[in-house]
Chain A
Amino acid sequence: MIFNLIAPFNTPEGLGIWIAAFLTLCIFSFLYKDNPFYKFAEHLFVGVSTGYYISIYYWNTLKPNLIDELRKGFSALGEGNVQKAFGLDENGSIIAEPHLRMVVPLMLGIFIFLIFISRKNAWLSRISFAWYIGVASGIAIPASMATRVLIQAQGSVRDFCIFNAGCANAAGLDPQTATTSLWINSALLLIGTLCAVAYFFFSLPSKGVLKAMNKVGIYFLMISFGASFGYTVMARISLLIGRFQFLFYDWLGINI
């Protein structure tokens, strides 16, 4: 072990390291039990992170997308250029800069606050929420169908394409020689997928063939969960090693 100087206290960088080390130990103290040090670190974290996000939202979102656009819009209006003020060109087509069209999200944003001012105006805030959630739902429907359902179905069917040269070429895959292990693997993949899908049938009682499929499905699910669990263990340990490296090397200057 080689001892270097401990991080100097009297420079901004050194002071920063001491504070980071102190806060790191405060969080680690939670492993023993709840204590004033953890409570201090937790409350500081909440305050600092909320302040940080306000800063981000203002400089990255509100100022460039709303405040500056509205300012430009009112400026154009002041010059008498109504079309430009609303983000339209001479032909009435929409241009990239929205200007006063940003009044729409401004109003939707203000409506959200109304629920706290008066319950009589709560219906206006519900319009904002309904729009917000309606848009999210509209985006999610084709996206979930394409990325979660169809892509998985494609993958399942494509697994069997590799055994046939014509099919493989059409699907953009390399044809493979049909070995026993490849057959078994493909069959297991299909059986596992079908049985696990069958596990999620809600409106059919679990009897007979479906019961057997459910059992097989749950076995596949458990193997998958175990595999995911085992796969992430190393990643989590490396995070801990990272913190120890900071404490030992950056803070205490101990090279191990």
Chain B
Amino acid sequence: MSNRGPLAVAFIAGMLMIGDYFLDWGPLNSYAEWVQKYYIIIAAFAIVLGVASLFKLHLGKLKRKEDGWRYSIVTFFGFFAMIVTGLFMTSGDLTGTKHPWNAWLYTNVQLPLGATMFSLLAFFIASAAYRAFRARSLEATLLLLAACLVMLGQVPILTGGVFESLPEIKQWILDIPNMASKRAIMIGVGLGMMSTALKIIFGIERTYLGGSEE
């Protein structure tokens, strides 16, 4: 009962966007353009919820002196450092992320942390390969073989004789079996996305709305 209104809203909102794709009509096309702006504004409001959740989590840890509560102070320190420099400080015309202190924090704290986390992939990819590349079945053997051929084809450290063809073999693997699989997966994903989206618009799938007022 309580979800009828929202389901109707989902239906109308969805049908209007589908209509915009197929129809050339001023009011509808203008609405669809404005939807993009509405979207990011709602996302901006939603970040307040996110911050409230983050605060609740860490204040709770501080209050109850849970394991690792001191690190919550670090989180608050980082958060407020960025907020103060990004929202409240000005340096001439420079505000927000252009403020020198905010930019300094971004360049020397956020960027290196992100880049280092990204670089951990080199170690993890090696550990994943070491564990997974045991040819226990035909499927695993094919995976292993394809990975090795493509790796060697990209960086031809082995030369002479049959190894001269490695770059060509690599390209063939990428152009034929890889392309065939990717096409099939994309087709399946496209149909799956359409099906899920239609179920939402027609109200067949309504779990995303949650429930009652209890």
Q: Which A residues have a C-beta under 8 Å from some C-beta of B?
A: 12, 15-17, 19-21, 23-24, 27-28, 30-31, 39-62, 65-66, 94, 98, 101-102, 104-106, 108-110, 112-113, 116, 119-120, 122-123, 126-145, 147-149, 152-153, 155-156, 185, 188-193, 195-197, 199-200, 217-234, 236-237, 239-240, 242-243, 246
User: Once the chains bind, are B190 and A142 in contact (CB under 8 Å)?
Assistant: no
User: Once the chains bind, are A122 and B213 in contact (CB under 8 Å)?
Assistant: yes
Known: A23-B112, A46-B75. A220 touches B177 (CB 8 A): yes
Residue of A nearest to B7 (CB): A130
User: Once the chains bind, are B213 and A23 in contact (CB under 8 Å)?
Assistant: no
Contact of B201 among A56, A137, A232 (CB under 8 A): A137
Q: In the complex, what distance in Å separates the CA atom of A56 from the CA atom of B47?
A: 11
Q: In the complex, what distance in Å separates the CA atom of A233 from the CA atom of B145?
A: 14
Q: In the complex, what distance in Å separates the CA atom of A144 from the CA atom of B74?
A: 43
Residue of B nearest to A143 (CB): B21
User: Once the chains bind, are B177 and A227 in contact (CB under 8 Å)?
Assistant: yes
Q: Which B residues have a C-beta under 8 Å from some C-beta of A?
A: 2-3, 5-7, 9-18, 20-22, 27, 30, 34-35, 37-52, 54, 68, 71-72, 74-83, 86-87, 95-97, 102, 104-123, 125, 129, 138-140, 142-151, 154-155, 172-191, 193-194, 196-198, 200-201, 208-210, 213-214
User: Once the chains bind, are B184 and A217 in contact (CB under 8 Å)?
Assistant: yes
User: Once the chains bind, are B184 and A133 in contact (CB under 8 Å)?
Assistant: no
User: Once the chains bind, are A140 and B193 in contact (CB under 8 Å)?
Assistant: yes
26 sample A-B contacts, Cβ–Cβ < 8 Å, listed by A number? A28-B116, A44-B74, A44-B77, A45-B114, A50-B79, A50-B82, A53-B47, A54-B87, A61-B43, A62-B41, A98-B34, A102-B41, A109-B42, A126-B210, A129-B208, A134-B11, A135-B16, A137-B198, A139-B17, A144-B190, A200-B184, A223-B178, A226-B142, A230-B146, A234-B154, A246-B112
**What is the minimal beta-carbon distance from A167 to any residue of chain B, in angstroms?**
20
User: Once the chains bind, are B177 and A192 in contact (CB under 8 Å)?
Assistant: yes
The residues of A that contact B180 with a CB separation of less than 8 Å are: 188-193, 196, 220, 224
User: Once the chains bind, are B17 and A138 in contact (CB under 8 Å)?
Assistant: yes
Q: In the complex, what distance in Å separates the CA atom of A40 from the CA atom of B75?
A: 9
User: Once the chains bind, are B45 and A236 in contact (CB under 8 Å)?
Assistant: no
The residues of B that contact A229 with a CB separation of less than 8 Å are: 125, 129, 143, 146-147, 150
Q: In the complex, what distance in Å separates the CA atom of A108 from the CA atom of B26?
A: 24
User: Once the chains bind, are B97 and A138 in contact (CB under 8 Å)?
Assistant: no
Q: In the complex, what distance in Å separates the CA atom of A193 from the CA atom of B16?
A: 34
Known: A137-B200, A138-B14, A222-B146. A123 touches B6 (CB 8 A): yes
Q: In the complex, what distance in Å separates the CA atom of A29 from the CA atom of B120?
A: 10
User: Once the chains bind, are A132 and B83 in contact (CB under 8 Å)?
Assistant: no
Q: In the complex, what distance in Å separates the CA atom of A138 from the CA atom of B82?
A: 37
Q: In the complex, what distance in Å separates the CA atom of A239 from the CA atom of B119?
A: 5
User: Once the chains bind, are A54 and B86 in contact (CB under 8 Å)?
Assistant: yes
User: Once the chains bind, are B109 and A23 in contact (CB under 8 Å)?
Assistant: yes
User: Once the chains bind, are B35 and A135 in contact (CB under 8 Å)?
Assistant: yes
User: Once the chains bind, are B14 and A148 in contact (CB under 8 Å)?
Assistant: no
**What is the minimal beta-carbon distance from A69 to any residue of chain B, in angstroms?**
9
For the complex with contacts A46-B78, A226-B142, 17 further pairs of A-B residues with Cβ separation under 8 Å are A16-B104, A23-B109, A39-B68, A47-B78, A48-B105, A55-B102, A94-B27, A134-B10, A134-B13, A137-B14, A142-B18, A149-B194, A220-B180, A223-B146, A229-B146, A230-B149, A236-B121
User: Once the chains bind, are B40 and A65 in contact (CB under 8 Å)?
Assistant: yes
The residues of A that contact B183 with a CB separation of less than 8 Å are: 152, 155-156, 193, 196
The residues of A that contact B81 with a CB separation of less than 8 Å are: 47-48, 51
The residues of A that contact B120 with a CB separation of less than 8 Å are: 27-28, 30-31
3 nearest A-B pairs in the assembled complex, by CB-CB distance: A51-B82, A192-B180, A138-B17
